[in-house]
Chains A and B, each alone.
Chain A
Amino acid sequence: MKAPLKTLTDEYVVALREYLEGGGEAPLFRAYQIGRSALGEGLGVLEVAALHQEALVHDLLLLLAPDESPTIAKRASEFFAEALAPFEASRRGFQEATGVLRDLNRQLQLRIEVALKDYQAAQDKLDERRRMEALKDEFISLVNHELRTPLTSIHGALGIINTKLGPELPEEARRLLEIAYRNSRRLARLVDDVLDLQKIESGMVTFEARVQPLRPLLEHAVEANQPYATQLGVTLVLEDAPPDVQVAVDGDRVIQVLTNLLSNAAKFSPSGERVAVSAASGHGCWRIAVTDRGPGIPESFRARVFQRFAQADASTTRPRGGTGLGLSICKAIVERMGGRIGFETEPGHGTTFYFDLPMEGAPGGADASACPESR
């Protein structure tokens, strides 16, 4: 017999005898305690029954007198019932716990089902969006190809005629040819700009931000656009630009923005004037500014400057040769880089277009709200 069992048997015998002899609460309570101990020891109901049996046959039968036997038998069964009570309670607790667990389980299952349905719906939506995006992507790439192929032969054919036969053509034909050739080039630029804007705005373009010195980007943009400005008799000048400033940007895109701003500034400058590029810091940002001495932007047009195909005066479109998308593209690019674009203008004196780039290492990084609204 295992030690705990032995102890329990002894206790059982003592307590049972006491109860059979005199009744009372105390021995019954002990019976209950013994039952709990048995339960705690991992004993079963049968083993407690065996204790009971053992206690009875051991020596208690001696107590039995014929006239007292019903009382004693009744007490013996009460005692036994008390010793088994913890098992009963445990069983009930177990049943209750099982019930509660079952309910919980059901609720959880329901919630999981709902969550799964939500997830599936979201997944379907996402798949649908991806499908649409892929379709759009494919469409744009097709449009790109399909527009460019005829444009290539038109532009190529006109260019060849212009070069080979231009000098032999009558003056009028040469002028018309020149117009057609120039406009085929413009159409190509327009296709570039429309696709570019579409790609940037739809997030299809990956911006490859790299930490790099700011000044060489500005120098590059000024150099690259000087030939165009020279045709208009305008000089591009890089003014204040701190030599050792680092910015985290996609360099090609910064140059694209500067190219747009510089060619605009040159277009609107009187011949013989200068266009100045500068960079200055403030509020966690670098502000890059392009200043011209042109006619300024009329009050009535200021609100529409960054709108697509908006040009202040329809008559400026042709001689100045823009696509009407340059500033929309600039705005889209600058905003994608977490910056802000704006302008200040004074009719009769000129215009400054500027854009703010988040400073490398500035708190908030690409957070445009760190940049000031205006100077």
Chain B
Amino acid sequence: MSRKPLSRVLLVEDDPDVQVVASMALSELGGLVVEVCGSAPEALRTAPVFQPDLILMDVMMPGMDGIAALEALRKDPRLAATPVVFMTARAQSHEVARYRELGSLGVITKPFEPESLAETLRGLWEGRDV
């Protein structure tokens, strides 16, 4: 399973308030190093520099949505192996299944529980196929 513990997370979220809350939940409560991007194109530019262990990304974003961003990430050899976890309004089980098929590591439902957000990501990180 995993060799190194989860430490760097790139958060991709268009809503500024959710950005603050989610990044605080991950860093202040969860002890992770977090970088925030407000859009998918920004994330595609930032990720190769920041080199996250995992990307936590909103699905519904204006312009390029999370699904398109995931496809773009998978085409970039530097980022193809970086796990992506989606954040979304509650999805039906077949939608979750579709996100998995597209190659996401997991789905986190909004609103999330701030105390356990980092823990949930760590669980997905530990449980991933390497």
- Chain B residue numbers with a CB within 8 Å of A154 are 111
| Cβ of B27 to closest chain A Cβ, rounded Å | 11
Which residues 61-108 of B sit at the A interface, judged by CB distance below 8 A? 89-90, 92-94
- Chain A residue numbers with a CB within 8 Å of B92 are 205-206
- Chain B residue numbers with a CB within 8 Å of A141 are 89
Q: Size band of the A side of the interface? A: 20 to 34
Number of interface residues of B (CB under 8 A): 22
A156 in the interface, Cβ–Cβ < 8 Å? Answer: yes
When C-beta atoms are compared, the residue in chain B nearest to A195 turns out to be: B90
Q: Kindly supply a per-residue 1/0 record for chain A positions 160-203, scoring 1 wherever the CB is within 8 Å of any chain B CB and 0 otherwise.
A: 10011000000000000000000010001000100100000000
A156–B89 touching, CB < 8 Å: no
- Chain A residue numbers with a CB within 8 Å of B114 are 155-156, 159-160, 163
Q: Kindly supply a per-residue 1/0 record for chain A positions 39-72, scoring 1 wherever the CB is within 8 Å of any chain B CB and 0 otherwise.
A: 0000000000000000000000000000000000
Output the residue of A163, A195, A205 with the most chain B CB within 10 A: A163
CA–CA, A152 to B110, complex, Å?
6
A252 in the interface, Cβ–Cβ < 8 Å? Answer: yes
A156–B22 touching, CB < 8 Å: yes
A153 in the interface, Cβ–Cβ < 8 Å? Answer: yes
- Chain B residue numbers with a CB within 8 Å of A208 are 93-94
- Chain B residue numbers with a CB within 8 Å of A184 are 111
Q: Kindly supply a per-residue 1/0 record for chain B positions 51-69, scoring 1 wherever the CB is within 8 Å of any chain A CB and 0 otherwise.
A: 0000000001000000000
- Chain A residue numbers with a CB within 8 Å of B29 are 160, 163-164
- Chain A residue numbers with a CB within 8 Å of B113 are 155, 159
| Cβ of B105 to closest chain A Cβ, rounded Å | 20
| Cβ of A164 to closest chain B Cβ, rounded Å | 6
CA–CA, A233 to B54, complex, Å?
40
Q: A163-B29, A164-B29, A208-B94 are in contact. Are A152 and B111 (CB under 8 A)?
A: yes
B24 in the interface, Cβ–Cβ < 8 Å? Answer: yes
A145–B89 touching, CB < 8 Å: yes
A153–B20 touching, CB < 8 Å: yes
Q: Which residues of A contact B (CB under 8 A)?
A: 141, 144-145, 148-157, 159-160, 163-164, 184, 188, 192, 195, 205-206, 208, 252
Closest 5 CB pairs of A and B: A156-B21, A159-B114, A153-B17, A152-B111, A155-B111
